[in-house]
Every structure is written in C-alpha cells, then in structure tokens.
Amino acid sequence: MISEIFVGQSSVCDFCDSEMVVVVFYCPDFIVSEAGGIKQHSIGDWMACHECANLVYESDKTKLVDSSVRSYENRRGIAYTQEEREAVGIYMDEIIEGFLSHYTGSDLIDEA
C-alpha cells in the first residue's frame, strides 16, 4: 500500500510559515518522491512571504531549505539535533528542488 502525502496547500508561506504572504508561484502538481513507498505530491500553487519569494527568485535553495527546517521546529515547538536537522533538510531539499524546477511564474497578491 502506498501512503500519500500532499504538500503545498496552505495560506501561509510554504517555506517559512509566515502569514505575510505576498507572492503566489504558479506551479503544476508534481510528485516529489516515491521513496520508501510513500508518494509525496505537491498540489497547486505555492505561497511565499517577501523574504522567501526573493530567495526563490535568486534560486537560493540552501536558504529556503534552512527556513523550512526552522519553521518545522517552530511549528512543533521543538529543536532538532544536528542529525535530525540534516535528515529533515534532505527531505525539504527534495521538495524545494522539485518546486524550483516546476514553477512557471509568479504574481504579487494583495492580502497581507
């Protein structure tokens, strides 16, 4: 049986969880990975705050992965060990790599 995980459906920044979303990145659905029998999809457009949008424009994957790992920690109120941070980073890297190679364009959005 294949478990499925869907990412990318939210009204907060898809990278750092900020609620100050200013840019929408148009992105077709794509499969992130099927490693370990878990099929991960990215569904729909991605949202980004000002800071993360700039990182996307600069294709600064390292910083985007870093923000994403931090937001995971904040959301769960935990601090990863170095080892855990690297493991989560690898997972985030795969998702963000997929996004960077699939998104087709962007627009500013008005709501703050």
Cα–Cα dist 74/68, whole Å: 10
* Options 1-9, 11-19, 84-92, 95-103: segment touching Zn ion (CB under 5 A): 11-19
Question: Given candidates 13, 22, 55, 65, which one binds Zn ion under the rule CB under 5 A?
Answer: 13
Question: Given candidates 18, 40, 42, 68, which one binds Zn ion under the rule CB under 5 A?
Answer: 18
Closest CA to 13 of 105, 101, 96, 97: 96
Question: Given candidates 24, 27, 32, 49, which one binds Zn ion under the rule CB under 5 A?
Answer: 49
Q: End-to-end CA distance of the chain, in Å?
A: 41
For residue 100, the minimal CB distance to Zn ion (Å) is 15
Cα–Cα dist 57/42, whole Å: 19
Residues that bind Zn ion in the complex, under the rule CB under 5 A: 13, 15-16, 18, 49, 52
